[in-house]
Structure 1
Amino acid sequence: GRGSDAFGFMDTFLDRLFEYIGSKEVYHEKFLNATIAADDQSGNTGQMMDGSQINVDVTAPGAIIALALIFLKAESEEIAARLSIPDTHFDLQYVRPDFVMLRIIARNLILWSRIQPSIDWIGSQIPETIKVGVFSMSEEAIDCDEFDAEALFQAYINIVTGACIAIGLKYAGSRNGDAQELLYSYTVHFLNEIKHVSVQTPSILPKGLLQYVDRGTLELCLHLIALSLSVVMAGSGQLQTFRLLRYLRGRSSAEGQVNYGLQMAVSLAIGFLFLGGGTHSFSTSNSAIAALLITLYPRLPTGPNDNRCHLQAFRHLYVIATEPRRVQTVDVDTGLPVYCPLEVTVAETEYYDETNYCDVTPCLLPERSVLKNVRVCGPRYWPQLIKITPEDKPWWRSGDKTDPDPFNGGVLYIKRKVGSCSYSDDPIGCQSLLSRAMHEVCDTPSTSCSTQLNRASHSSFRVDQLVSTFSANPSLIAFAKLCCESWKDRQVLYSV
């Protein structure tokens, strides 16, 4: 992510990478020829050279990933523009569809701030020529013999899949609702193209993809989007996502091309969804995004021993991106874990304003870079506010004296108010001493008007005193003073 500050010979190095991609734009050809000649003399080219030409099929994936990592979040429009997407029918014949997906991922990792979880943003990634051609052929508005329909549709679905992977990386571990709904819709749509399911989603892709795209490519794109969905919902165990992954996991090879790589992707997605037993999630720091990108590399193996295009051991690098973000509230008197509502404040960023949301423990907290404060907001526990300065640092580690953890390794001690029951013992809130005492006092029967007046004032005094004993909530005290007294007076008037 350091961009042009990474090396002193960056210009020559970049030209070399773009040459490996197959780009025709070379700005320092003199130095480039010198470096290639040096490689020829040292004999380190291997399969990179096909005679005197560079074998782009071998060099392009590594060069694209290298450019994406060098300029990660750099917002460099110049580099992103050089990672161009074929926008003519002629160019589509010379760029492999899977390389188009890699270019889309790399472009959006460079232009990090522009990634948006919306259908319009995904549509903006598709060149107009491809978009018009695909929708025209899906509606049979033009003759398919005029263009290479397979090339158009292959490029289209690879662009969509690459954009979905970029969204998954941008919102990794955030449980963003818009990203979840969008990725879920695309997953179900691809699944409907392969085999009809009962789940209905809005029409976001042209129908009849299987007519122009082979079954294996659709299966690959389906599982890559499902994997991106699990990255967004990492550690949450969301039921809707789990049902989808369980359905994909239950499909047998007899239903289609469900090979080792696809089963591995589903198993990896389920592991992400329940990451650390619901205690961990993914970070979006530069090192974390780099690790996730290598883990989610969009080339799945065909068997356990297939390491030709991607070393399978690299699939375990997601561990670098994980961090423990679960918080559990513990009753300080009993030492037992309890449920408690928390109000979490997310700091203002360039993408959204400062927002508050409520969650019930145990729950996952946002990243440290956006977490502002956490407040105990339940009426049964004494209020507690933890103020945090948002910093772009890793999550706190227990035992670190230089950077103490305000959550004590994921444990937040709280104290229950006198007369209140825990949420597990009293989910509704009708068994506390305060509610039972008020109910008993207000329902005390009376026999005469004279005794009713005395009991009304005496009962209101008892309720007022009772409320102040068990709770300092001003609304409850006001209720006791006003509502209970007025109710007793009404009973006296009605009895007269």
Structure 2
Amino acid sequence: MQRLLGRSWERRLRLDTSQVDKVAEIIFSTRKTPAQKSDALISEFGFTRWTIGQLPSSIGLLLGSIIVGKHTSTELFQFKRPQTVSSFPQPDEIAQIARIRWPRDVRRDNVRAMLDSTKPVLIATQHLDAGTDGEIREAQEQFLLATWTRYLSQAFGRAFFNFRTVLPNPAEALTVPNLCLSARIYPSNLTYDLTSTEHLKHLREWGEFYNGIAAGLSIVGADVTRVDHEWLTLCHTNDKISPPTAAGLLYAFGMNGHLPNFNTFHIHEVLASLDKFPSIALLLGMAMSKLGTGDRQVHKMLTTHLPFLMGPTMLNLKIDPLIQTSAVAGLGLLFAQTGHTKVVNKLLNEIGKSLRADEEPSPELPAYKLSAGFAIGLICLGLGDEIAAARPPFKEKLPSIPDRLRTLMIGGPKDKCVFIQPQLLTCSDTQAATTTSQESRSNHVREGTNVNVHMTAHPATIALGLMYMRTGNLQIAGDLECRTRYLCLKKYVQMCLKFPSDVEVTISDREQAYWDELVDRETVAEVYLYAMTAACFAIALKFSGIIGETYEDILKILNSAEEHRMLFLMHDFNIENIEWPARHLVKAAHRSVVNLCADMILLSMAILNVGRGKVNTIRFARYRRSQDCELSFWAHNLWKYNEEMSVHRSLAMLFLGEGRYGFKRDNLAIALLVISMYPIVAHHVADNRLYHQPLRFLWTQAVEPRLLVPMCRKKNKPIRCDIEMRFKDSSLRPCYCSAPMMLPPIEDLTLIELSGAGVEKIRFDLTKEDRKNELIEILTTGHGRVPVTVTESCLDDNELAQQKDWTLRQIFDHRVERPGGKAVKFAKEYERMKMSSHPGGPGDLRWRSIDSVPAIRQYLKTLHMEITSSPPSLASFVVDDVKLASCVAKYVDNNSLANRLDIEAQRLEHATEL
């Protein structure tokens, strides 16, 4: 072992102390043959057919040949050790659970197909509205550009759908699905690609980066399995994938908690290259792996990429603005919920400071400042009152952090919110920071003494909101409210929406005069749409995953037939077909605003129904996705990419982790969801000017397993049973559902009870701490499996006929055929046989009687043929079946047949022992 794996072979095999002794005993045993040792090691390590199938062919076939004698009558390749409740679900089990949850449709497969980007798109030339060859080629190029917009946005959805569903194979690198951006022309079947330009190359690189993230997020988390540095290096240096894809894998491994196992020297070696994609992946990935810990090593990594934290230096470092943006966001993740005011003060200065006279304004500057606002909000998450009350007694009274954020949000002098200490400036900054009253000038903009609210309002607002989350501070709530005039207009439009189209609305003279004087109707409509969308999004975050009466009430708010929220927002914009008054709102507001609000409400519905695969939400998403306008529309309307991304995320969110995960509701989870779903429209996949798009994946730390799956103890397979849930709110009635199902947040429940016909009753009283911890352990460590005892009479027909110990169907081949050729189930026949109301009397077994000598001879001849044709490994099962047949014969008073069967069973048993 040491020669093969090294001295630390037990660490490489991931064995604990108890397993090391057992493995050593098996390896150095002198009583067992090599085949028996291999069989024992397979059982000890818990290998299954799937795990051996992942090994190289030579090893897999060898291990399979060792244990091929242990197969059963129904599965040719079934291993000795059954799957335990603590092992991670394999693809077959995930598919079985999905068939039980959604037995009558293929919604899961349909969504997976809509997220597939591995196949080239088909261009039907005869259907293109073009005449000459030049027009046809132009139409083909426009069609493929539209396909790029859709395919490049699908990775954001695949990350939700495949989240933590794959166990890594330590023998080979992770397989990344191909991102196919070419087309095939029908009917010639020729491959068509776009002419390579710098812009398209940029789009492809970012698309491959996000494709790598989606593939990496399919790996299970660090709490399920541990991967070592060798495997991480194997994936990162894989020659079969592009460098952006490899960087995306690193980012995904960090979000799943595997990146700390990466060698530190290798991390610094990659960061020293200042390559954009690996640097972004490592900075954000390491910060996500150390979320809220304030780790010193990660802090040093982030500091070296932020000039304002480096201090005076003679080095003139040119760091990519996107890398700096990632480092700023990583700073907030690293110090999340710590209240580190020193870091917060420096980030506030970054939001409010102006460019120097010799600086070029970066296109990514708004995203940099917004990421600084996210970082402030995460560091001070829910600690606004504590931070405001814990101000040290300065000699000079300085504004508090909330006051500085308020100034940055509303506007005001810079000297009230930006305080740059001269000793913290770099050599190049000293000349620019002589006095705070001196005007700063850039090459493009002349800024005065007041802050530029166009650059600071967004980050300050989100930072202030996260800082006071769930604090109930009325003063801050008042600062964040809309002005009175907007509230009046909002209420007015809301009341108008409640009137049906066939009812005349009475408008007073004062209101009519107000509307006559109103000039900016677009702003009024947009204010209402934004306010309504924000309210729906907040409701979805607060009530994500709930069921019962509260869920029905919330669903009416999000999708009410009376208020037509989704109907008019998701319309095809044929204004004449939209009923009044929705028509006025859609017509007055800009189309981009209506699209953004529709996308956010669709995301809200997906968050509310996360992991449940609700059909109505899928229909809304498919409707949005099927709005294929003219080909030129995709290129000229810049919100189309954001629309496609929102649709794909909504579809996949309904099947988060193959329907196994839901969203948490603590402060940090809600903050990460707000950041990842932030409503800023990106024009394309490489657009990071206003929002840093790698932050779209921060939701990975806001999930928790919620799928509850009853498992049959005997067959170790998922089954369906009834489930009753009772809530802490006594005003809510108990909820009766069917499992497997996604549970609501456990904090809202007091009782969970599994029951059903023929199913063992299991009760979880969540008011008791031990039973609550047991349920949490089942959902996490046990992957949602609840072992239950099930009687054979309630098993499914097909499942019973395929049991490994059920071979009576091979013995009684002379039975009378049933309608449809259905196999006779002995267990049900035996129960029906005992009933006096059974047709034919209690002795009728519904097969031909074997009471005469010729019939017994023919029966034994048939039985002997079946036994002879069965493999030797089934001998023990055949003996049990023959004994069972003898009991049946004795029950019907056919003693002669019973005696002959006993003799045959003894002969078979003796042959088996030999």
Match of 1:132 in 2: 492
Aligned-partner Cα distance in 1 for 2:688–2:780 = 44
**Alignment check: 8 A CA contact 1:419 1:434 kept:** no
Aligned-partner Cα distance in 1 for 2:773–2:590 = 44
User: 1:356 offset after TM fit, Å?
Assistant: 2.1
Match of 2:391 in 1: 9
**Alignment check: 8 A CA contact 1:193 1:210 kept:** no
Identical positions, percent: 23
- The answer to whether 1:178 aligns with 2:178 is no
Q: 1:34 to 1:241 in 2, by over 3 A?
A: closer
**Alignment check: 8 A CA contact 1:367 1:395 kept:** no
1:236 pairs, out of 612, 616, 641, with: 612
1:151 pairs, out of 523, 527, 532, with: 523
1:441 pairs, out of 829, 836, 842, with: 836
- What is the RMSD computed on CA atoms of the aligned residues? 3.9
User: 1:411 offset after TM fit, Å?
Assistant: 0.3
Q: How does 1:83-482 map to 2 (within 5 A)?
A: 83-88=480-485, 127-132=487-492, 141=507, 142=512, 144-147=515-518, 148-174=520-546, 176-185=551-560, 186-192=565-571, 194-195=573-574, 206-254=582-630, 257=637, 259-348=640-729, 353=731, 355-389=733-767, 408-417=782-791, 419-422=793-796, 433=828, 437=832, 440-442=835-837
Aligned-partner Cα distance in 1 for 2:479–2:774 = 39
Aligned-partner Cα distance in 2 for 1:296–1:276 = 18
Instruction: Determine helix, strand or coil for the equivalent of 1:300.
Output: coil
Instruction: Determine helix, strand or coil for the equivalent of 1:278.
Output: coil
Kindly provide the CA deviation profile for residues 193-236 of structure 1, in whole angstroms up to 9, marking residues without a partner as x: 724899x9xx9964422321121111111111111111111111
- The answer to whether 1:56 aligns with 2:453 is yes
Aligned-partner Cα distance in 1 for 2:556–2:833 = 46
Match of 1:457 in 2: none
User: 1:361 offset after TM fit, Å?
Assistant: 1.8
Aligned-partner Cα distance in 2 for 1:354–1:196 = 42
Q: 1:37 to 1:70 in 2, by over 3 A?
A: closer
Q: 1:37 to 1:377 in 2, by over 3 A?
A: closer
Kindly provide the CA deviation profile for residues 210-267 of structure 1, in whole angstroms up to 9, marking residues without a partner as x: 3211211111111111111111111110011111111111222429656111111111
Structure possessing the higher relative contact order (Cα contacts under 8 Å, 6 or more residues apart): 2
TM-score, normalised relative to structure 2:
0.38
- Give the partner amino acid of 2:492: V
Q: 1:83 to 1:435 in 2, by over 3 A?
A: farther
**Alignment check: 8 A CA contact 1:329 1:412 kept:** yes
Q: 1:135 to 1:406 in 2, by over 3 A?
A: closer
Q: 1:407 to 1:78 in 2, by over 3 A?
A: same
Deviates more, 1:370-379 or 1:313-322: 370-379
- Give the partner amino acid of 1:14: P
Match of 2:267 in 1: none
**Alignment check: 8 A CA contact 2:706 2:779 kept:** no
Q: For the pair shown, which has the larger CA radius of gyration, 1 or 2?
A: 2
Q: 1:86 to 1:39 in 2, by over 3 A?
A: farther
Instruction: Determine helix, strand or coil for the equivalent of 2:662.
Output: strand
**Alignment check: 8 A CA contact 1:325 1:395 kept:** no
- The answer to whether 1:66 aligns with 2:475 is no
Q: How many residues align?
A: 387
**Alignment check: 8 A CA contact 2:726 2:752 kept:** yes
Aligned-partner Cα distance in 2 for 1:197–1:342 = 48
**Alignment check: 8 A CA contact 2:707 2:779 kept:** no
Kindly provide the CA deviation profile for residues 137-158 of structure 1, in whole angstroms up to 9, marking residues without a partner as x: 9969536541132221121111
Instruction: Determine helix, strand or coil for the equivalent of 2:753.
Output: strand
Q: 1:374 to 1:190 in 2, by over 3 A?
A: same
Q: Which runs of 5+ in 1 are unaligned?
A: 93-126, 447-496
Q: 1:423 to 1:61 in 2, by over 3 A?
A: farther
Deviates more, 1:15-24 or 1:185-194: 185-194
Q: 1:406 to 1:84 in 2, by over 3 A?
A: closer
Q: Which runs of 5+ in 2 are unaligned?
A: 1-381, 393-398, 434-439, 500-504, 801-824, 842-914
